[in-house]
Amino acid sequence: MTSVPARAALKKYFGYDDFRPLQQAIIEHVYAGKDGIVLMPTGGGKSMCFQIPAVTMTGTAVVVSPLISLMKDQVDGLRAVGVRAAFLNSTQRGSESHEVEQAYENGELHLLYVSPEKLLSSGFFTFLRRRRVCLFAIDEAHCISAWGHDFRPEYTRLRQLKQAFPNVPVLALTATADRLTRRDMAEQLGIADAQQFIASFNRPNLRLEVRPGQKRREQIVRFLRDRPQQAGIIYCLSRKQTEQLSEKLREAGYRSEAYHAGLTADRRAKVQSDFIRDKTLIVCATIAFGMGIDKSNVRWVIHYTMPKNLENYYQEIGRAGRDGTDADTLLFYSYNDYLTLKDMISGSGNAEIQLAKLDRMKEYAESLACRRRILLNYFSEDHGEDCGNCDVCANPPERFDGTVLAQKALSAVARLRESTGIGLTIDILRGSGRKDVLANGYDQIKTYGAGRDMSTYDWSQYFGQLISLGYLYVAHEDFNKLRLAPAARRVLFEGETVELVKFQTIRDRKQAEESQ
């Protein structure tokens, strides 16, 4: 059985006794010569899925990665444990890359890391054909999709790969792909029918908390006082913010450093290595920080300002608690931050998609339903129960039986054949006499006017809850129309009851916060 050499290699090179869930299945899939899509959270152990085939199969595994700055570290790390790895990218001198090419041609390499530019440069496929490639691993594969949050145009040409090497298995790996990104990613790579391996994104040891963004520095200092000697990261929106905050924390006696793309490479490397060695306890950083950082004892992550989307948020909080023991995450949220981000995004490419994603982030921050459920639903995972380890679960708002309300909303969406967005659906529920409502005959459907008793504002809040709870989702690819999730069937046809949070309590809570 092929798993024997795989397991032996896991022990020999990496010192581990057992594979994590899915790793073994993915490796055997590669041995069978099949393509695959791997979705695992950061730190989930994706690399092993191509490293083990690389050291056990005949030929070289070619790993495509956009993170050029990390290649050297990755390769050094592998060499240190006896894996024959090398990399090729634009930062190398000619003599260096020549040596690597020679090693490949001599069949000496288990693994060859390349940047997408290098892979697609002229003559490179011909070069690869001089020897045998056993696997193409596309790391950070979400970068190929314009739906993703990290689109890289140079990645789109990777579709040539499957055409040029139809018999070499392709493994697309990512930590951050929502439903749409995942579909698009597979299509673009020409492996739409490939098996998908989706690991759970649940990280139950991460405590989730959102607080109103007032007096943030004071709140942070209080937060730190309760956590002496614990390492953590504070994510900020701007370079200036990282520096100012770090300065304040130093004044308050903390070993803190700022980290952002505007620092020299040497400086960044120093901050990073001091943090890994526990010389620096706190890093105030922009999103540039953390990519590929393997530090297991980060005890907390704070977001000084809200990230642009839930993918980034999830990836950033995921840097805490990798050792599996409890870790805290804290997000500061204010409506003003939302507006600032909205402005920033509006000027950028594919703004429409990014704005829809920002709205999901805002819904998360404003939500009064279990935050982990929202997060996991976003990644298409429905656990069907509250987590018990977020601020909402710890301090539950008043709930009521919202089954009838949910039935009205869901059946309106069903009767409208999932063809309307939230705003219009609410207008129809409220029996609006708007011209386009009447012109389209929406006043003829059975739920027209069934929700007259509630304001538009209340309805939109409850629709938000139904989305968060996984009964509905928004089809961003189709004019943000509302769609029924599988759970909606259970409410409409199988008598499932729905518990909702009383909207009144939301107002009370907001007022309480404001008067603080």
> Closest approach of Cβ 243 to ligand ADP, in Å?
29
Residue with smaller CB distance to ligand ADP, 20 or 215: 20
Per CB under 6 A, the list member of 20, 79, 215, 222 interacting with ligand ADP is 20
Helix (H/G/I), strand (E/B), else coil: 194: coil
Give the separation between CA 237 and CA 167, rounded to whole angstroms.
45
Residue among 6, 7, 9, 19 that touches ligand ADP (CB under 6 A): 19
Token pair 């922009």 in the structure block, residue? 286
Give me the least distance between CB of 391 and Zn ion, in Å please.
Answer: 8
CB 378 within 8 A of CB 360: yes
Among 27, 30, 48, 143, binds ligand ADP (CB under 6 A): 48
**Under the criterion CB under 6 A, does residue 36 sit at the interface with ligand ADP?**
no
Question: Residue 473: which of 75, 178, 163 has the closest Cα?
Answer: 178
307 binds, among ligand ADP, Zn ion, none (CB under 5 to 8 A by kind): none
Closest CA to 293 of 351, 385, 231: 231
303 or 322, CB closer to ligand ADP? 322
H-helix segments, 130-280: 160-164, 179-188, 216-225, 239-251, 265-276
Of 14 and 254, which CB lies nearer to ligand ADP in the complex structure? 14
- Any idea what the Cα angle at residue 141 is, between residues 184 and 178, rounded to 5°? 50
Told to check if 469 binds Zn ion by CB under 5 A, we report no
Q: Is 77 in the site for ligand ADP (CB under 6 A)?
A: no
294 contacts ligand ADP (rule: CB under 6 A): yes
Residue 177 near ligand ADP by CB under 6 A: no
Whichever of 105 and 294 has its CB closer to ligand ADP, that residue is: 294
Taking CB under 6 A as the criterion, the residue among 44, 66, 321, 402 binding ligand ADP is 44
d(C-alpha 506, C-alpha 398), whole Å: 9
Q: d(Cα 215, Cα 418) in Å, to the nearest integer?
A: 43
SS3 content of the chain, % helix, strand, coil (to 5): 45, 15, 40
Binding partner at 393 among Zn ion, ligand ADP, none, C-beta below 5 to 8 Å by kind: Zn ion
The yes or no reply on residue 16 touching ligand ADP (CB under 6 A) is yes
Which long-range contacts link 245-249 to residues 24+ away (Cβ below 8 Å)?
245/217, 245/220, 245/284, 245/304, 246/282, 246/284, 248/217, 249/220, 249/221, 249/224, 249/282, 249/284
Mask: binding to Zn ion, 365-384, rule CB under 5 A, as x and -? -----x-x------------
60 binds ligand ADP, rule: CB under 6 A = no
User: 135 near 54, Cβ under 8 Å?
Assistant: yes
Residue partners of 389: CB distance under 8 A and separation at least 6? 204, 206, 207, 208, 372
Any contact of residue 47 with ligand ADP (CB under 6 A)?
A: yes
The single-letter code of the amino acid at 398 is E
For strands 298-303 and 282-285, give the pairing: unpaired
Task: Note whether 42 binds ligand ADP by CB under 6 A.
Answer: yes
CB of 130 to Zn ion, least distance (A): 55
Tell me the per-residue interface mask from 447 to 476 with ligand ADP, x by CB under 6 A, - otherwise.
Answer: ------------------------------
Q: How many residues bind Zn ion (CB under 5 A)?
A: 6
- Residue in 214, 177, 210, 209 with CA at minimum distance from that of residue 196: 177
Using CB distances below 5 to 8 A depending on partner kind, what does residue 390 bind out of Zn ion, ligand ADP, none? Zn ion
Choose, by CB under 6 A, the member of 29, 31, 37, 46 that binds ligand ADP: 46
Mask 379-408, x = binds Zn ion (CB under 5 A)? Answer: -------xx--x--x---------------
Backbone angles phi, psi at 256, to 5 degrees: -125, 145
10 Å Cβ neighbour count for 26?
A: 26
Asked whether 136 and 38 are in contact (CB, 8 A), the reply is no
Q: Which stretch binds ligand ADP (CB under 6 A): 36-44, 105-113, 282-290, 432-440?
A: 36-44
Of 107 and 324, nearer to ligand ADP (C-beta) is: 324
Nearest Cα neighbor of 258 from 240, 279, 231, 276 is 240
Chosen from Zn ion, ligand ADP, none, partner binding at 20 (C-beta under 5 to 8 Å by type): ligand ADP
Where on the chain is the footprint of ligand ADP (CB under 6 A)? 14, 16, 18-20, 23, 40, 42-48, 294
Where on the chain is the footprint of Zn ion (CB under 5 A)? 370, 372, 386-387, 390, 393
